Amino acid sequence: MKKKIIIPRIKAAEPPKRDIRHYIIYLVHTVIFCICALVIGIITGAFDAAFISVLTFLTGIREEYPFYFTPFLFLAGLLIYFLFDRFSREKPNTISLDFGNERDMRAKTKLRLIPLVILGTWLTQLFGGIAGTENAAIQTGGTLGSLVSGRLSLKNRDCAKILTVTGLAASFGGLFGTPVAAIFFAVEVISPGYIDVTSLLPAMIAAYSSDFVSRLLGTEKLAFGSYIHIDFSVSLVVIIFLLAVVFGTVGGLFAFLFKKTKKLLSAIIPNPYFKIALIGILVSALSLFVFSGRYSGTGIAVVKDIFSGSDVYYTDFILIFILTLLTLSAGYQGGVFIPLFAIGSSLGAVIAVFFNMPVALTAAMGCTAVFGAATNTLLAPIFLGAEIFGYEYIPYFFAVCVIAYIFNGNNCIYSAGTNRIAVPHLLMIKK
């Protein structure tokens, strides 16, 4: 008699039952997160306004007396590295989104780092370094959210992540006046590859409240308005595709070289003090004596020139690209957002001529797509373009950012340990 092989049936796991108590707790937690988001947004918005106010003042001094400050960038670099070496375990050339989501002690370490990042950013801008400004705001907002989560005794495993996202959204929204882009940026960089919808409501409250407070205290919104009309055609679709591939490649290349340049400089010049001083001398000499201070600071002057109809040089995007990498890789403080805007805008303005495209529209698409490709985000650059340049151009931003996102080589300016990209390289909704 033959034996029968019996394959046991695997019973599908039943979802946990949800009773009324579960939903009451969920509602209470949501209310607490929203209250925390409002507080974080108000504090962060006030910080952004004060930070930008001081930065604007220092930039004005440098622009009025460039030869009194820019040649001494190397001295500022030495002071920056000394302060980090003396008072922090972190390296000054690190741009990270690791805010200690799991451990409160890590958040306290980041809290001690904030004054150093702020002072370092001010010194970098005052003495003519080529870097952005957002790192100080992002460190402040993210760390504040992480600290608040450590003070809450909630039995919610997502508490730290939700409030960290909230702090990031508040810092971005208050800094640039783009709250919708801020919401999606915070969600995408903390949870790469999918959207955690539980963070959206607190992030929205924080981003809008921070934007409101920052604007109320006098911070200008980043915006460039212009009317551009272009007829739809098959050739336009092909051109946008080609432009997006270029933008995505450049943004991905920036992110790739951003990590490699730091390692290469450290290998070539092991002494950190000598490295930051030598790069400071090189950057200040090129910026002041060769390019007449055109690229000193954040690069926002180049962006303004493009959208005001002023002259744009073919070398703008290349030089900003190189000088930003050198400045930040050496250990100077700042960020990459506005330099990325400048790289993308100037690149778009240059290649618009070859494709017979409107310069302003192509520059706007380059601004958003290069930013999205370098930060490995998709929805944030789409809405960033809409909030800066106008919602009527969102179809163009959507098309170019999606394609650039695909062709960025899955690179990101943030550390690989933080930015773990899901496979496949698509956004998934997660509740």
Given this chain, do its domains 23-216 and 234-430 carry the same CATH topology?
Answer: yes
Question: What number is the average pLDDT over the span 259-280?
Answer: 92
Residue 322 makes CB contacts below 8 A (sequence gap 6+) with none
| C-alpha dihedral, 73 to 76 to 80 to 83, nearest 10° | 160
Residue with tokens 């039943």: 14
Residue 366 makes CB contacts below 8 A (sequence gap 6+) with 243, 247, 344, 345, 346, 347, 348, 349
- Return the HEC string of 289-348: HHCCCCCCECCHHHHHHHHCCCCCCCCHHHHHHHHHHHHHHHCCCCCCHHHHHHHHHHHH
pLDDT surpasses 80 at 426: no
This prediction's pTM: 0.87
Look at residue 87 in the predicted model and tell me its pLDDT: 84
| Sequence ranges of the domains in the chain | 23-216, 234-430
Which of 192, 134, 184 is CA-nearest to residue 381? 184
Residue 356 makes CB contacts below 8 A (sequence gap 6+) with none
Which of 203, 142, 209 is CA-nearest to residue 174? 209
C-alpha distances in Å from residue 242, one per residue of 354, 381, 407 = 12, 18, 11
Q: How far apart are CA 119 and CA 106, in angstroms?
A: 21
Three-point CA angle 407, 408, 412, nearest 5°: 160
pLDDT surpasses 70 at 428: no
Which of 88, 67, 82, 77 is CA-nearest to residue 123? 77
C-alpha distances in Å from residue 114, one per residue of 47, 141, 267 = 12, 10, 28
Judge: domain 23-216, CATH 1.10.3080.10: yes
The helix/strand/coil state of 428 is: strand
Question: What number is the average pLDDT over the span 355-378?
Answer: 94
Look at residue 173 in the predicted model and tell me its pLDDT: 94
Task: Average the pLDDT over each of 41-55, 222-236, 276-290 and give the range with the smallest value.
Answer: 222-236
Class of the CATH domain delimited by 234-430:
mainly alpha
Task: Average the pLDDT over each of 47-51, 295-299, 378-382, 422-426 and give the range with the smallest value.
Answer: 422-426
pLDDT tens track for 246-257: 999 999 999 999
pLDDT tens track for 126-176: 999 999 888 888 888 888 888 887 777 666 667 888 888 999 999 999 999
Which of 320, 323, 327, 324 is CA-nearest to residue 345? 320
Look at residue 204 in the predicted model and tell me its pLDDT: 96
Which of 156, 157, 42, 141 is CA-nearest to residue 99? 141
